Amino acid sequence: MKNKITSQKLIRWGGLAAMLAGFIYAGIQPIHPPDFLPSVTTPAWAIIMPFKMIMCLLFMLGITGIYARQTEETGGLGLAGYLMLGLSWALQTAFIFTEAFILPVLATPNPDYVESLLGIVNGFPGTMNIGALPAIYGVVGVTYILGNLLFGIAVFHAHVLPRWTGGLLAIAALLTPAAALLPHALQRYAAIPVGIAMIAMGISLFFGDQEINTH
C-alpha cells in the first residue's frame, strides 16, 4: 500500500511537471529572441534561456510520469519513445546551459565562436570549427522527432490518457521536418502543438485517477 501511494504521488507530480513544461514550451515560442549574436546579451535572452533550462528538466520529469502511468499498456513502443525523448531533452539541456550562461560571456571576446554555435540552430554556419557539436545537435533533432512520434503512437493506443493527446504529439512530430522548410523565426511555432499535448497529458495525470498496478 505504501509503495502504491508513493507511486501515485510521483506520477501526479510528473503530471504537474509535464503541464509546466508544456506551458513554457508553447508560451516562449512567440517571444523567443532570434538565435543570432546581437540577442545573446539582451535582457530577453537572460530571462528566457534559464526558463528553457527549467523547461528541459520539467520535460524529463513529465515524460517519466507519463510513461510510468502506462508502462504496461504502451509496451516496447512506449519505452523506445520515452528513452528517445529523455535523450533528446538531456542533450538539449546541455546546449541551453551553454546558450544561457556561456555564450553571453563570450559574445564580446569571441563572437566568432558564438556565431558558429548559434549557426547550428539558425542555419547560418559560422566560420569556426566547433567539432562534433553539429552532429550532436543533429541527434537532438532526430531523437526529438522519433521520440515524439513513437511516444505519441504509444499513448494513443494505450487508452490510458486522452487518445487525442497522443495523436497530436505524433502528428506534430511528423510535421516537424516540414517546418524546417520555413524561415527560422516561424519554425518555432511547430513546437506549440507539442506543448499543448504535454499540457493535456499533464492535466490528465495530475487531476486524474492514478490506479497503478504495483505487483
pLDDT in tens, 41-65: 999 999 999 999 999 999 999 999 9
Residue labelled with grid coordinates 503512437: 153
Instruction: Name the pLDDT band for 4 (thresholds 50, 70, 90).
Output: low
Of 161, 141, 160, the residue nearest 149 (C-alpha): 141
Alpha-carbon span 195 to 45, nearest angstrom: 21
pLDDT in tens, 7-47: 788 889 999 999 999 999 999 999 999 999 999 999 999 99
pLDDT in tens, 70-111: 999 999 999 999 999 999 999 999 999 999 999 999 999 999
Tally of CB atoms within 10 A around 141: 15
> Would the pTM of this model clear 0.75, i.e. be above it?
yes
Instruction: Name the pLDDT band for 189 (thresholds 50, 70, 90).
Output: confident
- Give pLDDT, residue 214: 34
**Sign of the Cα pseudo-torsion (177, 178, 184, 189, in order):** negative
Of 98, 119, 104, the residue nearest 52 (C-alpha): 98
CB within 8 A of 154, min separation 6: which ones? 70, 74, 75, 77, 78, 81, 166
Alpha-carbon span 58 to 165, nearest angstrom: 18
- Assess whether pLDDT exceeds 80 at residue 3: no
pLDDT in tens, 126-162: 788 999 999 999 999 999 999 999 999 999 999 999 9
- Assess whether pLDDT exceeds 60 at residue 211: no
- Give pLDDT, residue 178: 82
